[in-house]
Structure 1
Amino acid sequence: MDALLDLLNSRPLVGGEERDALGDPADGRRWAREHGGDGSLAELALLREARDVLRDVVCGESAPAALGPLLEGVHQTPEITSDGLQWTVRTPPHARLAVETVLAWAATEERMPGRLRPCANTECRLFLLDRSRANRARWCSMAACGNREKARRHYERTR
């Protein structure tokens, strides 16, 4: 689940400028390796594609079916172990990390529907996973985006 949020948040706005953690090959390789990938060019291309499609799906701009092409050639195989039934995902090596993020999105939607969402700050491009009991979190960070939004509303009220 952390890799899913990290992938969605790998293209933030910093000082009004987009910073793409997967844009530069060296930075992208480092990001992929930190998340268990190999950092190959094919893997980075697929991660960028997965990020963009996931972003559109989470924002409601695309239907979940748009994720289908990312899962082509992927198979799940059941195995009986001493612990019970275990599913093993078989995928081309360069696609493993992207497939894992799509599967993490699916698991999140199944267990915590509607809790993965974009930050409510219109000047922010980050996403959050609301783990609160009330399901009312709105900002990726209360210290940054939440504070800015509350200060903006206070200023408008007192103006």
Structure 2
Amino acid sequence: MSAARDPRPLTGEPLALDLLNTRWVREGAVQDLLTGTDGLAVWLGANGLDGRFAADAATLRHLLRARDALRAAVDGPPAEGAAGVDAVLAHGRIRATLTADGPGEVPEFRDPSWGPAWLAARDYLRLLATAPDRIRACAHESCVLHFFDTSRNGTRRWCSMAMCGNRAKASRHYARTKDA
């Protein structure tokens, strides 16, 4: 784990969405964890990938390409996003294995610097296969964060009730009291 503190307001989402959440809004300004290799090291550490992949310029470049592709796939027309995600996935593959515990899979990469980007794109495929309707953008108009809705009834709207949910409630309350 990287020694640097992760400054992001929403962490712990599945890998693909956690990559999207490396950009967030604070006090009206967009923040970006992936502006350099130090931020990359924080992200790799937060996702348990720091022991497997280097926080170098090539890995950062590939990860930014994957983030753009995932953003297009999640927020834009599906066909547009699919091409970008497929381009990232072209840099790795799954090799079937037999382990002492039974069947297994091992990701393989022609170039290890594609590893984190490929794993995030692969995770997006897993989310699509699991519950595509549970991949959500926060409902707050000024929030750019994404989450995988694990609520029982599937009605989560906010990245965080403490942040965006409270802001929305406060805005509605203010509007009601202002009009009264």
TM, length-normalised to structure 2: 0.80
Deviation, 1:104, is 1.0
The corresponding residue for 2:91 is: 73
**Matched residue SS, 2:132:** coil
How do residues 8-157 of structure 1 correspond to structure 2 at under 5 angstroms?
A: 8-35=20-47, 36=49, 37-61=53-77, 62-91=80-109, 92-157=111-176
Structure 2 stretches lacking a partner, 5+ long: 1-12
CA distance in 1, matches of 2:91, 2:45: 23
Deviation string 1:43-63 (CA, Å, 9 cap, x unpaired) is 001111111211121113434
Deviation, 1:12, is 0.6
Deviation string 1:95-122 (CA, Å, 9 cap, x unpaired) is 1111111111111111122111110001
CA distance in 2, matches of 1:26, 1:63: 28
Whether the aligned pair in 2 keeps the contact of 1:59 and 1:117 (CA below 8 Å) is no
CA distance in 2, matches of 1:12, 1:73: 28
Whether the aligned pair in 1 keeps the contact of 2:97 and 2:104 (CA below 8 Å) is yes
Whether the aligned pair in 1 keeps the contact of 2:71 and 2:81 (CA below 8 Å) is no
Residues 131 and 78 of structure 1: CA distance in aligned 2, closer, same or farther (over 3 Å): same
Residues 80 and 33 of structure 1: CA distance in aligned 2, closer, same or farther (over 3 Å): same
Which residue type is aligned with residue 14 of structure 1? R
TM, length-normalised to structure 1: 0.90
**Matched residue SS, 1:19:** strand
Structure 1 stretches lacking a partner, 5+ long: none
Percent of aligned pairs with the same residue?
34
Whether the aligned pair in 1 keeps the contact of 2:96 and 2:103 (CA below 8 Å) is yes
Aligned length: 159
